[in-house]
Structure 1
């Protein structure tokens, strides 16, 4: 017969996993409909709605690293394409990650550490931010947390090596840079003084993962130019990542989190798993990026799982020292997390506002719909500005894309292929007015595109047209240009804003 104590312990363990999962799910769904998607989500939205052969063709030229995610989202958006459905897999991934962090903490240090760690993960603004992004990062976070839990079970003698290999491989296929978790796991094995048998089985898992990833690695190496825009990370990147990992980016809550994290280092079992997970992937990627920049905070979002584990372990040791293992301590810790969340509730609200992302393509499309007349030519500067028309074509339905030669799905590209510079000049010579959809950086006086078509756009518009109206919406500028009267001499200098 099962004792009452065993039943109570089982209920508490279920609560320790279920409560963080439910909380993260609720926070992920809160404000999920922001009224528009931004540029990165727009890529997911437009690619996932293509046919599987069209997606496959695209991946040969660009975004191979996101191939599995696009195929997954193709299935999801086939049910009902829309902004909310686009983000639901990320909400589910974040909720799963919170539950897995709780399960990992419970495995390493007991139910109350698991409960606190899972709750801390759920209320961290960084987790909430990516829970509402139509990209793969929240799902990758869940995969890494799950793989780490399977590793810990395998180290304790569990038969989870095959599952570990499969989860690691699938997670890395969702995003290639998740492979750095293996380096963190190697440090965990070393810190835990794992035996030769464990090392041998882990090495077999690494080989299996490598075989799964080999085609993706070869394809993504040829597409490395996609991340040329990334800057070289410095100390500011380290500080920003730390502040993002520790519950809240500033104030007393952040400082308390850092103190508890340092205290958690004394819990060797937790620290051996959490500290490498938190530090090794970001550290290695930042180090490599000193030679070849490829670091971005979101690429190592999965390392966030280590921070709440350390903080919860530190709080556990502090609670033992002050009051011991009293029955009310787990509830008190949960209430402390709730207070920290309420203290930084304005940050969570701000993150759910439409203007918290770099752009809002729905707003751009709505602006175009209200201004562009039937048959008006539209020029996107640069060509990636076409993403608003691709994501929300209703606003540009009356317009004529004057530079486009072949649409994205037909050409195997994200935004289509444009005509040559000479043909573009000929087309522009036949119109008396043109709408320009311009990204903010193209209006700077120091912007000098290397692409001859982009140079032709700004040169012809500057030389042959004059601005008549300007609107700014959703992080994009919409300008109306009309042909310069022959009686008006060209201006001797650029306009006050930008070169054209």
Structure 2
């Protein structure tokens, strides 16, 4: 016998209340699934430049980190502090760097189930959570040693706090004030983790206006909640002003972001949530559109018939009024800011809107009346996601980085020459003129332990910047005294091989071995 999934009537139960005892088993199960999917083969892709920035920032002392944040990367300061604590606890390794992101994916998936369950049936909530785990952008962020997965989890948590505060509209003023204060504090904390989350607070404002308008402004509790949001958002904005000004002063660090152009459309409709998977993007957007349509129809049906409508339905945000602003407002806000102020739009910065996409996909899948149809649809989504999931777990998946291969090569070669006194020259690194290939050593320190960095002037931790400063090679020839061998690691585009080979020849070194890896040349010289 085939069991029917919840019908459209399940969408018309937005009373905002659900027993945790009822919802937590599903949330826990989906959360574990999301975490394990994010963690699967997360150790295999080589680290890349952005992750090396996390390593450089977090593997220094607290005073050194504070000094760095005064000049660069204040936008990531709270995330760096959290990662500093984590790596102090467990020690650094590439998988330890990425594990918090996999956990954050699981937390976000679990919270999505809880959120949707307050306004729709169990089937829709579970399907939304599964859809979130399968989104190509989500499977990417689970292997990323940056804050993107954390921003998605924080976005769902902040939305749940917003809805909890809104639900207290009929409560005594003191209770309402307490909840909106909690929302303001949460908004400040989330924005300190990643400043783009401020646009989610704006999306909540759109949800608040939508809800009051949908109730034709007759619901006094809804109007009180709208005022509560406005006061909380305003207070958060005032508290965040110094942080925002500090981030603006450091805006030169995102000078790599391209201006808004026709290519931005591909970023919005494909890269942003369906990362490098156009076919999934087509199917995903069709399901998002269907989810919106089904929610509109369910709302109209509830309004016209009153069937299944709980008390105060007009004053409680609907799933439609939650998901659509979450989907639209941050993207439009960042694009407008990019047009008016300076380029700020990067698809991965809107990762925290992926839960809204998943919610709408879950609504569309939840309308399938038979369980086998829903299971088939999920399997089809998984099949669409699989090629990109596999690609994301390849060794050179991140910006064609071959850093782990470089580190393995140097480590294995050095192991055959125990006791050798060797030096290293770090050359340019592709696409990042401010850094050198020493970023590989930050990412895989064991392979480079004991090598003499002959060009090092000031270590990164002492510069107040992300990266170290260096002497020209001609000024450090005395550092080669007693050195048996020299390694050169350099970009294959900004190729230092001819110049370094000539200068080392003057010091008595000759090239003995050379390796060409993706984007990187490795050379060994002996005296």
TM over 0.5: yes
2:404 to 362, 379, 383: 362
Q: Is the 8 A contact 1:437 1:477 kept in 2?
A: yes
* Equivalent residue number for residue 80 of structure 2: 70
Q: Is the 8 A contact 1:49 1:74 kept in 2?
A: yes
1:348 to 386, 389, 398: 389
Please, which runs of 5 or more residues in structure 1 have no aligned partner? 1-7, 444-456, 484-500
Alpha-carbon distance in 2 for matches of 1:292, 1:32: 34
* Equivalent residue number for residue 38 of structure 2: 28
Flag the structure with more relative contact order, 1 or 2, with Cα contacts below 8 A and sequence separation at least 6. 2
1:68: how far off? 0.9
Once the two structures are superposed, residues 405-463 of structure 1 have per-residue CA deviations (whole angstroms, 9 ceiling, x without a partner) of: 111122323222223x5xx43335986996442235524xxxxxxxxxxxxx8996497
Alpha-carbon distance in 1 for matches of 2:251, 2:281: 36
Give the alignment of 1:282-321 within 5 angstroms: 282-290=331-339, 292-316=342-366, 318-319=367-368
1:396: how far off? 2.9
Q: Is the 8 A contact 1:366 1:395 kept in 2?
A: yes
Tell me, what secondary structure is at the counterpart of 1:289? Answer: helix
* Equivalent residue number for residue 453 of structure 1: none
1:386: how far off? 1.5
Alpha-carbon distance in 2 for matches of 1:345, 1:222: 42
* Equivalent residue number for residue 494 of structure 1: none
More divergent stretch after superposition (250-259 vs 48-57) = 250-259
Alpha-carbon distance in 2 for matches of 1:392, 1:69: 21
Give the alignment of 1:388-427 within 5 angstroms: 388-419=440-471, 424-427=473-476
Give the alignment of 1:13-412 within 5 angstroms: 13-34=23-44, 36-81=46-91, 82-157=93-168, 159=176, 160-193=179-212, 195-244=222-271, 250=277, 254-266=281-293, 267-268=295-296, 269-290=318-339, 292-316=342-366, 318-319=367-368, 323=369, 328-329=370-371, 332-358=373-399, 359-369=401-411, 374-381=421-428, 383-412=435-464
After superposition, the Cα gap between the structure-2 partners of 1:460 and 1:430, relative to the gap in structure 1 and judged at 3 Å, is: farther
Q: Is the 8 A contact 1:265 1:271 kept in 2?
A: yes
Alpha-carbon distance in 2 for matches of 1:231, 1:105: 36
1:217: how far off? 1.8
Tell me, what secondary structure is at the counterpart of 1:229? Answer: coil
The CA RMSD over aligned residues, in Å, is 3.2
More divergent stretch after superposition (63-72 vs 246-255) = 246-255
Q: Is the 8 A contact 2:463 2:469 kept in 1?
A: yes
Q: Is the 8 A contact 1:461 1:481 kept in 2?
A: no
1:61: how far off? 1.7
Q: Is the 8 A contact 1:363 1:474 kept in 2?
A: no
Alpha-carbon distance in 2 for matches of 1:390, 1:71: 18
Alpha-carbon distance in 2 for matches of 1:458, 1:289: 40
Tell me, what secondary structure is at the counterpart of 1:356? Answer: coil
Tell me, what secondary structure is at the counterpart of 1:477? Answer: strand
Q: Is the 8 A contact 1:154 1:161 kept in 2?
A: yes
Alpha-carbon distance in 2 for matches of 1:65, 1:245: 20
Q: Is the 8 A contact 1:18 1:99 kept in 2?
A: yes
Alpha-carbon distance in 2 for matches of 1:87, 1:44: 11
1:371: how far off? 5.6
1:36: how far off? 4.2
Alpha-carbon distance in 1 for matches of 2:253, 2:465: 13
Once the two structures are superposed, residues 167-207 of structure 1 have per-residue CA deviations (whole angstroms, 9 ceiling, x without a partner) of: 22111111112111122222222222264422321122213
1:288: how far off? 2.4
After superposition, the Cα gap between the structure-2 partners of 1:289 and 1:465, relative to the gap in structure 1 and judged at 3 Å, is: farther
Q: Is the 8 A contact 1:435 1:479 kept in 2?
A: yes
Once the two structures are superposed, residues 341-370 of structure 1 have per-residue CA deviations (whole angstroms, 9 ceiling, x without a partner) of: 134323212211221012143322233345
Please, which runs of 5 or more residues in structure 2 have no aligned partner? 1-17, 170-175, 214-221, 297-317, 415-419
1:248: how far off? 7.9
Alpha-carbon distance in 2 for matches of 1:380, 1:250: 34
More divergent stretch after superposition (89-98 vs 386-395) = 386-395
* Equivalent residue number for residue 491 of structure 1: none
Alpha-carbon distance in 1 for matches of 2:488, 2:186: 46
